[in-house]
Amino acid sequence: MDARADFRRIGVAHGEAWACLELALIDAGNGRAVQALTLCGEAAELFASYGDERGRDWARFLRCTLLPYASPGGSEVGTVVAQQELAELAAGHHPARDSRLERCAEALAVVLQRGVDLEDGWQAWRLGLIPTRHSREVLGVPVEGTPGEPSPSGV
């Protein structure tokens, strides 16, 4: 939590957003899916605030992994919503998209199709359906000179 507060204090939305996702992973792994879902939403807003589509994709994807465990309507409703949001995410391809996210989305679609067992707990970590350090290192923002054309900047 300190890292997130530090990034917020110095005005680095990229760092704060990724700190939110890291905290979401910790919460999800410790059975706090509702809190993790909230953090994913906050991260998505932060990524959107500076136009980072790549980071926003990961926040939206992790939200999909959590919905079956945190939906107020129960796991069946959460699974249906996750499938719908995952399909929308996959359909919204852009040049800055992390190819790892595409593979993770395909795998999650299969998991959701087969059904989620709440007793097994949140499985994204165990299945490797999480962003890597490289995912964080590449910004998916428009590069100067190409208005409206997001691409990984490597900054």
C-alpha dihedral, 25 to 26 to 27 to 33, nearest 10°: 30
Structure tokens at 38: 């909230």
User: Residue 148 pLDDT more than 60?
Assistant: no
Q: What is the pLDDT of residues 76-91, one digit of tens each?
A: 999 999 999 999 999 9
pLDDT band at 147 (very low <50, low <70, confident <90, very high): low
Distance CA 17, CA 59 (A): 9
Pick the more confident residue, 56 or 134: 56
User: Residue 155 pLDDT more than 50?
Assistant: no
Residue % of the chain over a pLDDT of 90: 71
How many other β-carbons are positioned within 10 Å of the β-carbon of residue 75? 17
Q: What is the reported pLDDT for 3? A: 82
Domain boundaries of the chain, sorted by first residue: 2-138
Q: How is 78-146 classified by DSSP, letter by letter?
A: HHHHHHHHHHHHHHS--TT--HHHHHHHHHHHHHHHH---GGG---TTTTT-S--HHHHHS-EEEPTTS
Q: What is the reported pLDDT for 1? A: 59
Distances (CA, A) of 48 to 17, 42, 146, 148: 10, 10, 18, 14
DSSP conformational letter for 153: -
pLDDT band at 11 (very low <50, low <70, confident <90, very high): confident
Structure tokens at 73: 């309507």
Nearest to 124 by CA among 139, 109, 135: 109
User: Residue 149 pLDDT more than 60?
Assistant: no
| 78, 67 Cβ separation under 8 angstroms | yes
Query: Do you know the residue count of the chain?
Result: 155
Query: Residue 22 is inside which H or E element, if any?
Result: helix 13-29
